[in-house]
Structure 1
């Protein structure tokens, strides 16, 4: 089994805010991330697929095609958008990095499988100091 990772980038705004809590509790738990005027991140998305290299090409999959797929299915929906308001696959979901990563997995997996490989792992870097890894349910 060989693992191939493609990295893409996007910028997006969001707000961490639990509507059932008071503003004070939201500020206590989420700090600046509960800002009423939103805040943004320069996200880095690592998509790792796995499979056996083709005897004809030596590729697990074509990395250029994988990049195009990620851009079409994910980046075009989230780049320079508000995750809370503008992204259909995040509707009704709390926009933590963890939930965003799971939602990206759910959007991307069927498309990746059509390429003849398996989605192995997503790594979403939100800041220099924070990232999420997800290996599927």
Structure 2
């Protein structure tokens, strides 16, 4: 049996600021992100298996992405940990806000790289992460493909 790609889509709201940037995105603002996660594998052929015919149960994929990405980033504000906004970040955290201090500038490009690393660690060994698409706006997105990262 051949490989099949399956995709599950997620959405979450996240704020961020790009320190040192020369445009409006240097200010704290937010996006309604859409994340498409595509995995690849062979459907289960064992007729006694409860998930016969599936590459991975969508529910299992949802659990991984929800725990690693959505639950962490939804309604959070992401700052580079080296940002001059650190005082603001600390103030927000002291007031109970969900703030992520990332090791990277929180662009869509860097976020999709981070997400790929997190998801790959949680997938069953027979399932590979094929691609991610992180849509920041209706017309702007970053994509990650395993084939580009061999």
TM-score of the aligned structures, taking structure 1 as reference length:
0.83
Which of structures 1 and 2 has the bigger CA Rg? 2
Give the Cα separation in 2 of the matches to 1:34 and 1:2: 41
TM-align CA RMSD: 1.4
Q: How many corresponding residue pairs?
A: 122
Assess, with a 3 A threshold, how the Cα gap between structure 1 residues 6 and 92 changes in structure 2: closer, same or farther.
same
Note the alpha carbon deviations across 1:31-81, whole angstroms, 9 max, x for none: 22111xx00000000000000111141111101110111101111110100
Give the Cα separation in 1 of the matches to 2:125 and 2:56: 7
Give the Cα separation in 2 of the matches to 1:5 and 1:108: 13
TM-score of the aligned structures, taking structure 2 as reference length:
0.76
Deviation at 1:92, TM superposition (A): 2.5
In structure 1, list runs of 5 or more residues that go unmatched.
19-25
In structure 2, list runs of 5 or more residues that go unmatched.
80-88, 90-98
**Structure 1 runs (4+) greater than 2 angstroms displaced:** 85-88
Deviation at 1:16, TM superposition (A): 1.4
Q: Comparing both structures, which one devotes a greater share of its residues to helix?
A: 1
Report the equivalent of 2:24. 32
